[in-house]
Structure formats: structure tokens, C-alpha cells
Amino acid sequence: MLETLTQGFSAARERLSGVRELTDENVAESLRDVRMSLLEADVDLAVVRDFLARVKERMEREDLTVLAYRFEGDPFCRAERFDAYRKALGDRFQGRVLPDSSALPGTPMRPHSVVTLHLVDREGEPTRAALDEILAFFEQRLRGGVPDRASAE
């Protein structure tokens, strides 16, 4: 399990290291590496609790924030998961929920992937606004800034 997680997170880091400009493609590929490693690892609840405790401590120490999106009816990332992250991480977790109706229609699965498969890449669309917010969040962090948690809401 640990090897699977390490490979996923390492692959994501390698994809972004040395990147001069964040693009939709390189961010999506990196996030896919992390997501797949978590799914493949089938992480145990006790491991998750310990991991969350260490994450929270680091987030406080380094003034970090998590920005996450999900669709309201997402069968893989249910509301309970976001609630658990909010409970564990407090105001350092900025969860956003989009209505299923904002997902790209005609895809082979229920709305799940806000900035990849179900992205409606047009100005004014909720998924495009989500992608823009995520890219701005990463850009600010990569430039050495700390995203303002208060203005993110």
C-alpha cells in the first residue's frame, strides 16, 4: 500500500517539478496520479486518521490550505468525505460542491471529475470557474505565496 501511495505522489511531484507554467493538462495528469494511487492502495481507516493528523499539523506549521471540489451526487467522493475533511482540518479545508447539472453531459459515468472528464470548458460555466480557481491557487502557492483562506470563500 505504501509503495503504491509513494509512487502516485512521486509521479505527481515529478510531473510538476521544473514546470514553468501550469496548464490544464499537467495539473490534471498530476492529480490523476495522486487519485489513482489512493484508489489502488485501498487505504485503511486507521491509516487515514493518522495521515490526517500529520497533515493537519503540517498545515498549521506551514500555513497550508486544501482546496477541493466535488459534484453533489459524486458516488466516489460523497458529502460525508468532505464533512470528515472539514471536521479534521477545520478552516484549512476549503470544499466546494457543484451541482451535477454543471457537469459535461454525455459522459460514460455520473459526474465525478470536476476539472477533467466532466469539465465544461467555457467562460461562465461552474466547472471552468473551478478550474480557474484551482490554477490560481496552485500558481500563488508555487510563487511562494499563501492563498488567502478568507477570500477563497
pLDDT at 71: 97
Per-residue pLDDT of the chain (153 residues; tens, 9 = 90+): 567 677 777 777 887 888 777 777 777 777 777 766 776 666 565 676 777 778 888 888 988 888 999 999 998 888 888 887 888 888 889 999 999 999 999 998 999 999 999 999 999 999 999 999 999 999 988 887 666 554 444
pTM of the model: 0.62
Provide, for the chain, the percentages of residues in helix, strand and coil under a 3-state DSSP scheme, each rounded to the nearest 5.
Answer: 60, 10, 35
pLDDT at 22: 75
Beta bridge partners of 70: 97
pLDDT at 153: 47
- For the purposes of burial, counting CB atoms within 10 Å of the CB of 134, is it exposed (0-12), middle (13-18) or buried (19 or more)? buried
- Rg (C-alpha) for the chain, rounded Å, is 16
Q: E strands of the chain, at which residues? A: 66-71, 93-98
pLDDT at 27: 76
What's the rounded Cα separation, in Å, for the pair 72 and 59? 26
| Residue 90 DSSP class | G
